[in-house]
Structure 1
């Protein structure tokens, strides 16, 4: 895999290329590199302010990254709006997440932002996830896990049990003000929350094991609801327990 020195050299070349590109009028780092919390394994997230047609700049930069760094693959992360978020894989497992934003959309949407050059616009930050939506996904995943067990669809049951555990982690992170996306705050959760998660792991694709793991995961979700909304927990607990 890449070394920190290799990654830093690529970052420097990206910055120099942006400064030499007349269509790029701003650049900011986001993610851990913006806040000084990155480590040896951190990838590179940056936002480019584009003056002119975004698609033209995206195509030019994509071609340059393949020619200059021998990029192996890229894909677009759908975010809506006029910005394009293109994710690149370079040799050595170097990941680049580059947002090509129209000049009026160049601005921080969250606390992880460090402007290198250009003038960012004031923009609303991304809202935290909706708690009721997370709870809705939780009971939905629990229900479908039970149905898949009854249908003897073992792999699909495992999928829903794991997805249910993800919702429990997100709910705990939201309650404690920790990052919710991609379990980024999971390592900061207290032991009282994380210790029971071990029992939620599916250890084999057998009916008995899947039923055990589902029961353990439902117990974790119910405990989290007790901490954040006892009244709602009291309404949902009998139905959730019925699934186990």
Structure 2
């Protein structure tokens, strides 16, 4: 197996243990690695994002045993399932002695073709996993600009009501949501980069990240007001580069609502 040059030695040692153990299970036909492993951009803080491909007729059996499989790999200190990210097939685990985070996504072999980014084969029976990957291209999920426009102004109304009511921590959650779901993905998309929220936005789009800093606030009315204004300004700037049907009526109503309620 040829590892990426950026793979830290600590991660390599753990990955070797994982592959040696999992390939012994006859129900499993392949192991792939995605994320920073596939792009050769790992560092000592990187997770290992693994896809564990299972014979379709054995998938339920492996799902029942998935914690036992993860537990069998030396060094496991904690693990839980990924329902919080809408993925019950996922087990998120931590391994000693170097506190390395590993995501194990167990999938039926045909479902391995459905993936958000490139995935490198670490091990496989025959060429089963390679052949499966060749049936479909990876596709990173992203909301369309029209989907965002259809929602942005109501989201702005929501933030206004929370600031005006004094629910400052709720308004902070809104700002984080807008950065992750609207502003950063649009900016990355327009730069022909994978629109992966705010991940590494500081290095991927340093000039834009400086603008994004002004959307960060403390839980008080003045800072939250300025941050929401910056969100609106950035969105309007980004929207000019998209071909969409603008909801100007909603925009006017919600901006006026913001001005009226915040400055009372």
TM range (shorter): 0.7 to 0.9
Determine if the alignment matches structure 1 residue 181 to structure 2 residue 207. Answer: no
Moved more, 70-79 or 160-169: 70-79
Equivalent in the alignment of 2:3: none
Change (3 A) 1:207 1:79: closer
> Match of 2:138?
125
Q: Is the CA contact 1:32–1:112 (under 8 Å) kept in the aligned structure 2?
A: no
Which structure 2 residue ranges, 5 or more long, are not aligned?
1-6, 260-264
Is this contact kept in 2: 1:50–1:100, CA < 8 A?
yes
Give 1:16 shift.
0.8
- Give the direction of change, closer, same or farther, for the CA distance of 1:87–1:145 in structure 2 (3 Å limit): same
Label 1:173 to 1:14 Cα distance change in 2 as closer, same or farther (>3 A). Answer: same
- 162, 171, 175: which one aligns with 1:148: 162
CA contact (8 A) 1:23 1:50 kept: yes
Deviation at 1:96, TM superposition (A): 1.0
Alignment of 1:14-163 (within 5 A): 14-51=18-55, 52-67=57-72, 68-77=74-83, 84-91=89-96, 92-107=98-113, 109-116=115-122, 117=124, 118-120=127-129, 121=132, 122-123=135-136, 125-126=138-139, 128-129=141-142, 130-163=144-177
Q: Secondary structure at the match of 1:200?
A: coil
- CA–CA separation in structure 2 for the residues paired with 1:188 and 1:181: 11
Contact 2:140 2:194 in 1 (8 A): no
**Residues 1:197 and 2:212 are matched in the alignment:** yes
Distance between the aligned counterparts of 1:230 and 1:182, measured in 2? 21
Is 1:9 the counterpart of 2:24? The answer is: no
Deviations 1:130-176 (A, max 9, x none): 22223344323322110111211111112112322331111111222
The Cα of 1:22 is off from its aligned counterpart by 0.8
Q: TM-score, normalised by structure 1?
A: 0.83
Do the aligned residues in 2 keep the contact of 1:173 with 1:185 (CA within 8 Å)? no
Given candidates 210, 213, 228, the residue that maps to 1:214 is 228
| Structure 1: runs of 5+ lacking an equivalent | none
Q: Is the 8 A contact 1:28 1:47 kept in 2?
A: yes
Paired positions, count: 238
Instruction: State the 1:234 CA deviation.
Output: 6.0
Q: CA RMSD in A?
A: 2.7
**Partners of 1:134 and 1:170 within 8 A in 2:** no
- Over 3 Å counting, the alpha-carbon distance change for 1:111 and 1:64 in structure 2 is closer
CA distance in 2 between counterparts of 1:136 and 1:169 reads 17
Give the superposition deviation at 1:32: 1.4
Closer/same/farther in 2, CA of residues 39 and 137 from structure 1, 3 Å limit: farther
TM-score normalised by structure 2 residue count:
0.78
Q: Deviations over 1:83-117 (max 9, x none)?
A: 82222123343111112111222336244211232
